[in-house]
Amino acid sequence: MKSHLNRWILATAVVLMAAGQLSAATLTASASFGGGDGWRSPGEVLAGDTPGTGPGGIYSYLGTGSLERGLAYNSTSGNLILVSRSTAGNGIRVLNGATGADVGFLNQGSGVISGGTFTTSAVGVANDGAIYVANLQTNVTSGAFKVYQWTNEAAAAPTTFLNSTISGYAGTPRNGDSLDVYGAGTGTTIVAGTSGAVGYSVITSSGATAVTSFAPAGPATGDFRLGLTFAGSANDVWGKQTGASPAAAPLRLTSYLGAAGTGLGSGTLTSGGEMAMDYAVVGGVPVLAVVDANNSTLRVYDVTTPTVPVLIVSGTTTSGVLAGNGNAVGSVKFGAISGTGATIYAMSTNQGIQSFDLRGVGVPEPTSLMLLSFAGVSLIWLRRQSCC
């Protein structure tokens, strides 16, 4: 009887630790952001905002009119890049990453940015601080999908990194709802989520490739349209769309080579409303941060086993009744990462920008250490029993 009990204790400890159920990770509001509550709410004016950005006490570039979809973190400056289609103009804003205050804008030059259903939509930043902003194009086989590049936040004007239709898709592919950037310099690679077709676009300095087929099969039409992120390399990509249930909108992991992709497996998250995401390694643990379009809840998953994402921690810094995010668009980005902690920024469109402090990833709870210690003693005892 004791032998069975100790085997059960050992098995339970191993299973719980492998599943991340006893993690000490916490997710709290960044105390310096958004006036101290971790949330720059729609229209909120902050101390330190650029003069003229908050006429009548309402910030012009973060509202509830579905005008903000793209948000990125610049690791070279610590700032955020926010893309807004506000009629106030100069809508590619630079926000202080610590406070959320508006500290200026990217110079758009003259006659460079034009075309598309939206002339600007999504944004990503390379490791060298180069900024890439894409338009939104509802059919990239007949209308040009464009990506613009700023060498840094102080650039006098952008250059056009991509201006092209993209062949190889079936259906009516739409690009520009989601975007991610990997690498730096000539090694920069960009992926853009696609709806109306299966796959995503891979953009480099040499042009764009449509990834439309997967073997083994897995991804379906639109699986990368609302949320996608590189999975630690320039060739591996996570993707997700929304659905009525978690099972109806699985998380996809793929790898690509040229115009062909390999489906590496699917997993199920907590809510069908989870979409925008970002991947990082924190405390030695591969994690995926995903925001829920329904309620701005941010969830952080351990994706050590990609097909079995395990919820580590979740939370929201918002309060009150939120405006709806009917298009289920937005962005999630990891900020600075240090040891077992990181900053995470989340923007579910029409629901403001949240900043979280993630701490203790990869650190087990004291109770789990005790359980594992007891299990280890039990294992030694069992071995002794079996040899006598």
Q: Is the model's pLDDT at 259 over the cut of 70?
A: yes
Better-predicted residue by pLDDT, 19 or 223: 223
| Cα-based distances in Å from 352 to 149, 187, 294, 366 | 26, 33, 13, 36
Residue type, 132: Y
Domain ranges of the chain: 1-22+375-388, 24-65+269-363, 106-267
Mean pLDDT, residues 277-293 taken together? 98
Q: Is the model's pLDDT at 383 over the cut of 60?
A: no
Structure confidence at residue 19 (pLDDT): 44
Q: How far apart are CA 191 and CA 235, in angstroms?
A: 10
Q: How far apart are CA 337 and CA 314, in angstroms?
A: 18
Q: Is the model's pLDDT at 21 over the cut of 90?
A: no
Please give the span between the terminal C-alpha atoms of the chain, in angstroms, as a whole number: 17
Model pTM?
0.90
Is 340 in contact with 362 (CB distance < 8 Å)? yes
Q: Is the model's pLDDT at 350 over the cut of 70?
A: yes
> 189-219, pLDDT tens digit by residue?
999 999 999 999 999 999 999 999 999 999 9
Confidence label for 381 from pLDDT (cuts 50, 70 and 90): very low
Q: How far apart are CA 247 and CA 232, in angstroms?
A: 25
Structure confidence at residue 80 (pLDDT): 99
| Cα-based distances in Å from 109 to 90, 113, 375 | 10, 8, 65
Burial status of residue 228 (CB atoms within 10 A of its CB: 0-12, 13-18, 19 or more): buried
> 260-271, pLDDT tens digit by residue?
999 999 999 999
Structure confidence at residue 12 (pLDDT): 41
Q: Is the model's pLDDT at 252 over the cut of 80?
A: yes
Is 287 in contact with 23 (CB distance < 8 Å)? no
Structure confidence at residue 365 (pLDDT): 78
Structure confidence at residue 22 (pLDDT): 59
Q: How far apart are CA 228 and CA 178, in angstroms?
A: 7
Record the tokens describing residue 326, joined without a space. Answer: 């009917």
Backbone angles phi, psi at 302, to 5 degrees: -80, 120
Q: Which residue is associated with the tokens 């729609």? A: 42
Q: Is the model's pLDDT at 326 over the cut of 90?
A: yes
Q: How far apart are CA 78 and CA 186, in angstroms?
A: 23
Confidence label for 16 from pLDDT (cuts 50, 70 and 90): very low
Structure confidence at residue 23 (pLDDT): 75
Confidence label for 4 from pLDDT (cuts 50, 70 and 90): very low
Structure confidence at residue 11 (pLDDT): 42
Mean pLDDT, residues 367-381 taken together? 46
Query: If you average pLDDT over every residue of the chain, what do you get?
Result: 91
Q: How far apart are CA 175 and CA 54, in angstroms?
A: 31
Structure confidence at residue 40 (pLDDT): 98
